């Protein structure tokens, strides 16, 4: 089908052409696309003209995708804002082309905001070591992305940190004196506020929007490090209040209004606990919170709506503007957890809608290396959009992504070992057993034989889905090769220890051959993962995975040499196999352990 955009304003025409190119739609004499301002989304066809009514630019582009698919609709947004937050701080910094592709997909969904979560991965003028060697976005890159987002109705909103989560900068001498402890800035130190002023000066030059997310979450040890040495113990509510007040003053100086994560106030009030909606928030906590900041209730974990209801009611009692941030789980390893995300998000959004919370975000964190693709969570991203507009998720997913919804959920399968997943199930089994050591495997006891049958079945499902995945087939290459390697390696340690204990030299010789197959399949996965990384991310950060996967390959060769040496008689005993193995990693709701350094060894890495 051919579409004619000449009746559109120049402001809309650029975005329409970008989406036409993305979706393989021809521009020329054909169906005429017109736009009218409306308080809701509508797509109506009359003769050779399709008219899209929309209240915002992003809403128009959502309607345009429906027009491309030959659909008509009447939909009203349930949310004032819908934001995707993409983590660009855990080694994987999305490339400029990848961000633009993401913007096109978000516009097609009807999102109106995108946050690139950047702890230190944006350049600051006159601070050359801020983001040094981290793939940090330059001012020119951010301006380019900002303009592109504006053209498609997706506003780029700065999402930074102004208190904690800044560990990367503290390796450089110029920032060491600004550290309280761990990854936390030293509150009440004027040099810290000079840095934060530089942050906002840079944001003001790089972004059109004058709204920013200032982070300030999970600073559990604030005031208990260098601050304690210099000031003695201080009321930590007072420390947070003074710091937040200063940050908001600096933001206001540059014309910004702010969002921040709201958990710190709960944790300080309730001894480190977050979900204490059963207790009244002390008045001193409420009084310590400036009222000109939007508190974001983040929650990605709950499968009980009562928790969401209780937490929203607790946030409301504080009296600040509030918003909600759910999660599209891509932060537990190489693969997403879309099914869990959809279950938790359904309950969360039911609660938000029931309580009138209409400023909604979905976070896509990238903990421990940013391994999973941002595009792997598209089922969750589209789900949030359809809750905004009340559309059919599977139909919209097919129109927007070009793949079958259920097929895309196959990306979850490398971590799915149950035929029917229990509610609340979470696991990153594929990462655990990719890196579980061959001779000294911490997780050998969790390698249940019956799971291998499920892995084999899942491998076939991923292969079938890959054949239908179109431009996203490369994600399924990563999933398939990962699971294929894990399937070969999964229970190697348990079989090795059993054979060694029984002095079964025939089986030990067969295990040497198994190591050769494991090495080959890990190399195939390494190639697929590398291709995915360079397709989506800046090169910086891949050196981490080169070291991890290269280390795994080196360890395979080392284990092969030791086992071969034992069988030849050059080594009298494999002492590392003789220590009694202990369990302790059973989980009733899955197996989740996402720290590479603690997966590979019980020793200090």
- Write the pLDDT tens digit of every residue in 174-227: 999 999 999 999 999 999 999 999 999 999 999 999 999 999 999 999 999 999
What's the pLDDT band for 287 if we cut at 50, 70, 90?
Answer: confident
Rounded distance, CA 335 to CA 417, Å?
14
In terms of phi and psi (left: phi > 0; alpha: psi -120 to 50; beta: otherwise), the region of 301 is alpha
The residue-averaged pLDDT of 468-495 equals: 97
Exposure letters 87-121 (e unless 16+ CB within 10 A, then b): bbbbbbbbbbebbbbbbbbbbbbbbbbbbbbbbbb
Sign of CA dihedral 488, 489, 491, 492: positive
Residue 271: predicted pLDDT: 86
pLDDT at 267 over 90: no
**Cβ contact 263:298 at 8 Å:** yes
**Cα distances (Å, whole numbers) of residue 96 to 35, 113, 488, 575:** 29, 17, 37, 51
pLDDT at 285 over 90: no
Residue 247: predicted pLDDT: 98
Spatial neighbors of 462 by CB under 8 A, at least 6 apart, are 410, 411, 413, 414, 476, 479, 480, 483
Spatial neighbors of 330 by CB under 8 A, at least 6 apart, are 336, 337, 364, 365, 366, 372, 373, 374, 376, 377
Judging by DSSP bridges, how do beta strands 26-27 and 2-4 pair with one another? parallel
DSSP 334: S
Judge residue 171's burial from the number of C-beta atoms within 10 Å of its C-beta, 0-12 exposed, 13-18 middle, 19 or more buried.
exposed
Rounded distance, CA 321 to CA 316, Å?
8
Helices (H), 390-504: 393-401, 405-408, 429-435, 450-466, 473-489, 492-501
DSSP 138: P
What's the pLDDT band for 284 if we cut at 50, 70, 90?
Answer: confident
The residue-averaged pLDDT of 451-475 equals: 96
What's the pLDDT band for 384 if we cut at 50, 70, 90?
Answer: very high
Residue 449: predicted pLDDT: 87
**Cα distances (Å, whole numbers) of residue 437 to 432, 556, 575:** 10, 9, 15
**Bridge partners, residue 116, by sequence:** 86, 158
Residue 301: predicted pLDDT: 93
pLDDT at 457 over 60: yes
Residue 398: predicted pLDDT: 98
pLDDT at 354 over 60: yes
DSSP string of 178-219, one letter each residue: TBSSTT-B-TT-HHHHHHHHHHHHHHHHH-S--EEE------
Taking the model in full, what pTM does it have? Answer: 0.97
**Cβ contact 592:329 at 8 Å:** no
Residue 419: predicted pLDDT: 60
Domains and their CATH numbers in the chain? 2-75 (3.30.160.230), 81-401 (3.20.20.80), 411-600 (1.20.120.670)
Residue 589: predicted pLDDT: 58
pLDDT at 539 over 70: yes
Exposure letters 396-429 (e unless 16+ CB within 10 A, then b): bbbbbbebebebbbbbbbbbbbeeebeeebbbbb
């Amino acid at each position: 089908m051919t579409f004619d955009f000449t009746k559109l304003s120049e402001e809309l025409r650029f975005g329409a052409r970008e989406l036409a190119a993305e979706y393989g739609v021809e521009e020329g004499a054909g169906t005429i696309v017109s736009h009218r301002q409306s308080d809701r989304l509508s797509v109506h066809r009359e003769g050779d003209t399709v008219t899209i009514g929309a209240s915002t630019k992003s809403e128009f582009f959502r309607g345009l995708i429906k027009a491309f698919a030959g659909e008509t609709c009447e939909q009203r947004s349930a949310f004032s804002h819908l934001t995707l937050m993409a983590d660009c701080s855990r080694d994987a910094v999305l490339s400029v082309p990848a961000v633009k592709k993401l913007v096109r997909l978000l516009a097609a969904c009807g999102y109106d905001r995108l946050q690139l979560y950047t702890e230190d991965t944006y350049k600051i003028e006159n601070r050359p070591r801020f983001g040094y060697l981290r793939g940090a976005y330059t001012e020119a890159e951010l301006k380019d992305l900002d303009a592109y987002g504006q053209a498609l109705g997706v506003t780029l909103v700065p999402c930074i940190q102004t208190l904690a989560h800044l560990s990367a900068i503290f390796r450089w001498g110029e920032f060491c004196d600004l550290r309280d402890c761990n990854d936390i800035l030293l509150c009440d130190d004027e040099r810290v506020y000079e840095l934060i002023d530089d942050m906002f000066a840079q944001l003001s030059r790089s972004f059109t929007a004058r709204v920013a997310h200032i982070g300030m979450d999970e600073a559990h040890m604030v005031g208990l490090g260098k601050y304690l040495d210099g000031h003695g113990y201080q009321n930590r509510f007072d420390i947070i209040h003074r710091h937040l007040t200063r940050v908001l003053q600096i933001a206001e100086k540059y014309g910004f209004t702010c969002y921040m994560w709201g958990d710190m106030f709960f944790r300080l009030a309730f001894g480190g606990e977050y979900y204490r909606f059963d207790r009244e928030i002390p008045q001193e906590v409420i009084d310590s919170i400036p009222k000109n900041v939007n508190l974001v209730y983040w929650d990605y974990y709950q499968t009980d709506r009562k928790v969401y209801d209780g937490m929203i009611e607790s946030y409301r009692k504080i009296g600040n503007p509030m918003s909600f941030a759910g999660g599209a789980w891509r932060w537990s390893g190489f693969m997403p957890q879309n099914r869990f995300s959809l279950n938790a998000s359904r309950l969360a959004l039911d609660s938000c809608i029931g309580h009138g919370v209409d400023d909604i975000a979905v976070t896509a964190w990238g903990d421990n290396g940013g391994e999973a693709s941002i595009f792997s969570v598209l089922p969750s991203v589209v789900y949030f959009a359809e809750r905004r507009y009340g559309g059919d998720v599977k139909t919209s997913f097919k129109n927007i992504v070009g793949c079958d919804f259920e097929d895309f959920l196959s990306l979850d399968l490398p971590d799915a070992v149950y035929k029917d997943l229990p509610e609340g199930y979470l696991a990153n089994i594929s990462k655990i057993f990719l890196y579980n050591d061959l001779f000294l495997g911490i997780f050998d006891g969790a390698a249940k034989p019956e799971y291998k049958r499920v892995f084999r079945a899942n491998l076939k499902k991923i292969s079938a889905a890959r054949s239908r995945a179109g431009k996203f087939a490369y994600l399924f290459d990563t999933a398939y090769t990962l699971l294929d390697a894990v399937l070969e390696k999964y229970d190697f340690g348990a079989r090795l220890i059993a054979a060694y204990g029984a002095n079964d030299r025939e089986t030990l010789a067969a295990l040497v051959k198994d190591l050769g197959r494991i090495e080959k399949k890990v190399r195939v996965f390494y190639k697929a993962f590398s291709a995915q990384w360079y397709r989506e991310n800046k090169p910086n950060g891949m050196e981490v995975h080169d070291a991890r996967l290269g280390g795994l390959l080196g360890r395979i060769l080392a284990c092969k040499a030791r086992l071969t040496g034992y069988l030849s008689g050059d080594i009298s005993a494999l002492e590392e196999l003789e220590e009694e193995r202990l369990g302790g990693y059973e989980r009733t709701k899955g197996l989740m352990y996402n720290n590479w350094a603690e997966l590979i060894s019980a020793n200090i890495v």
